[in-house]
Each structure stands twice: as C-alpha cells, then as structure tokens.
Amino acid sequence: MATTDIKLGAPTVIADDVHIHYKTFASGKAAQNSRNLMRRQRGVRIVRAVRGVSFVVREGESIGVIGHNGSGKSTLMRAIAGLQSPAQGTIYASSRPALLGVNAALLGELSGEKNVILGSLALGHSMAEAQETYEEIVDFSGLGEFIDMPMKTYSSGMSARLRFSIAVSRDHRILLVDEALAVGDKDFKAKSEKRIRDLRERAGTVFLVSHSMSSIRDTCNRVLWIDHGELKMDGDPDEVIAAYQAHK
C-alpha cells in the first residue's frame, strides 16, 4: 500500500487489520449500510461490512474516504470513533476521535439549543464551557430563530449544519466528517470547507467521507478508496479519484 507524505507528524490513527461484522436478522435494520456480502447462518445474517482494513494516519493529514454506497465507509468511520467495536483487529488513536454523521439526530423532541448544550455536556465539558461555545455554534450554524424549535422539525440540511457546527466548535485532534458537506447549501459548504482546512492546519487529523469528488479534492491531501469492505487504494487524491472514476 502506498502512503504519500511520510514526512508528516506522528501517527494519530492506526487501523490494524480491522474487520467489522453486523449480526442481524433477515429483515433487520443493521443491513442498511452494507447490502453486500450477506451470509446466512441459522436465520441470522452476518454482514461483513469491513474486511481487513489497515492504515496509518499521521498528524496534519486530511483523509478523504470514497467508495460506492454500502462499501463500508460509514461503518469504518463509526469504528474509528469507537461507536462500533471491530470483530477482529484493532483501531488505535492518539485521542478520542469525534464523529459527525448525517443520519444521527440527537434528541428529536428537544430544541436545537438544548441539543447543543447536551451534546457538549455529554462530551465531558462543564456547563460553563457549554454555554461559552453555545453562541459560537449557533452563529456558525446560521440557524437563527430555528434554534428554539425541536430538532425533529428540522430539515435534513438544517440538522446536518447544526451537528457540523457542534462538532467543529472545539479543536478536535481527530475529526471524522461523514458526508456532512453534501447537505448544506452553497454558503455553508464554503464555510465548512474552510473550517476543515483550519482544523487541519492546527495539526489535527480530519477524515472526510463524501461522494462529492470536488469537496474531497479541495480539502484532502490523501484518499482512501473502500470497495466492498476492503481498502482498494490509498494515496494521492488525484490518482485515487481518477482510478475510482475509471472503475465506475
């Protein structure tokens, strides 16, 4: 496997032969992300979403993750964030990675404001810290008066913007962004891409899962191509994207 910039900083994330399986019933919902590779086993299906992925990511890199729907990209991100434990293999990280996904609403019946506070407190910040960053988050999200409404009333773009704003409100050493940029409108997209570049410059590590090749080219300096749960290619963005598009 090819690694581009070896001159970069110390390793921040290491995936060591990671396999992730879902166990689900035939019509279960866990199949959502991985329609490939289902194997029947006494009424229970084992979905092998990620199969033997290894890589080393160093400080200052921002990694684009590409692949077709259901290739295991999001599952891999969830595993890096520690929200899903690998069936085999291990993921190491220098600090706790923060995942920012599109599908996850926080608490739908509560307002955006309360979600901001609770999200911040759950991550271990004090009440004072939570209130301190609150304004900044709301400003960045550009939600205005909608911040007082229950999150279940938000459009998918609005709630993605709010979640993105919560996640980038602090300097995470490792930030995982799952297709969030695809949802915001044009202004927000430009704003969030700038923010990701800022984070990267402050020696953080950013993973960006996206189907938008232009976002990946603009923000990433290395790309992982995940295909059917395996790492198909790892390297320079232009090369990998060209190969990926040729493959399609």
Partner 1 sequence: MTDTDLARLARESGLERVGARPPLGEYLSSVWKRRAFIYMMARYRVQASVEENRLGLGWIVLKPILNALIYGLIFGVIMPSDTRPENFIAFLVAGVFVFEYFSKAFGMGSRAIVGDAALVRSLNFPRMLLPVSLITRHVIEMVPMMLVLGIILLIVGEPITWWWLMSIPVLAVMTMFNLGVALVVARLTVHLRDVSQIIPMITRLFFYASGIFYSLEAVIDDPRLLKLAQLNPVHDFISLIRGYMVSGNPINSFMWTVAIVSAVVMLVFGIWFFWKAEERYGHD
Residues that bind partner 1 in the complex, under the rule CB under 8 A: 1, 10-17, 22-24, 30, 54, 56, 78-85, 89-94, 96-101, 104-110, 114, 117-119, 121-124, 126-127, 130, 150, 163
Q: Would you say 213 or 232 has its CB closer to partner 1?
A: 232
Q: Which is nearer to partner 1, 12 or 219 (CB)?
A: 12
Cβ-based nearer residue to partner 1, 37 or 56 = 56
What is the nearest approach in angstroms of partner 1 to the Cβ of residue 90?
6
Residue 22 or 188: the one with the smaller Cβ distance to partner 1 is: 22
Residue 98 CA to residue 123 CA, distance in Å, equals 9
Q: Kindly list the distances between the CA atom of residue 212 and the CA atoms of 100, 133, 157, 178, in Å, as whole numbers in the listed order.
A: 17, 30, 16, 12
Minimum separation from the CB atom of position 158 to partner 1 (A): 16
Cβ-based nearer residue to partner 1, 66 or 102: 102
Pairwise CA distance, residues 125 & 108, whole Å:
22
Structure tokens at 198: 């800022």
Q: How far is the CB of 217 from partner 1 (least distance, A)?
A: 27
First to last CA, the chain: 21
- Residue at token pair 């329609």: 35
Return the number of other C-beta atoms located less than 10 Å from residue 232's C-beta: 17
| Residue 176 DSSP code | E
Q: Closest approach of Cβ 209 to partner 1, in Å?
A: 14
Q: Which two tokens stand for residue 53?
A: 């992925």
CB of 35 to partner 1, least distance (A): 17
Place of tokens 């430009």: 190
Beta carbon of residue 110, minimum distance to partner 1 (angstroms, whole number): 5
Q: How many residues does the chain have?
A: 248
CB of 224 to partner 1, least distance (A): 15
Shorter beta-carbon distance to partner 1: residue 233 or 241: 233
E-only strand ranges, 101-243: 174-178, 205-209, 222-227, 230-235
C-beta closer to partner 1: residue 121 or 242 = 121
Q: Report the helix count and the strand count for the chain, using DSSP H and E.
A: 7, 10
Q: What single letter denotes the amino acid at residue 10?
A: A
CA angle 26/85/87 to nearest 5° reads 65
The β-bridge relationship of strands 11-25 and 88-93 is: antiparallel
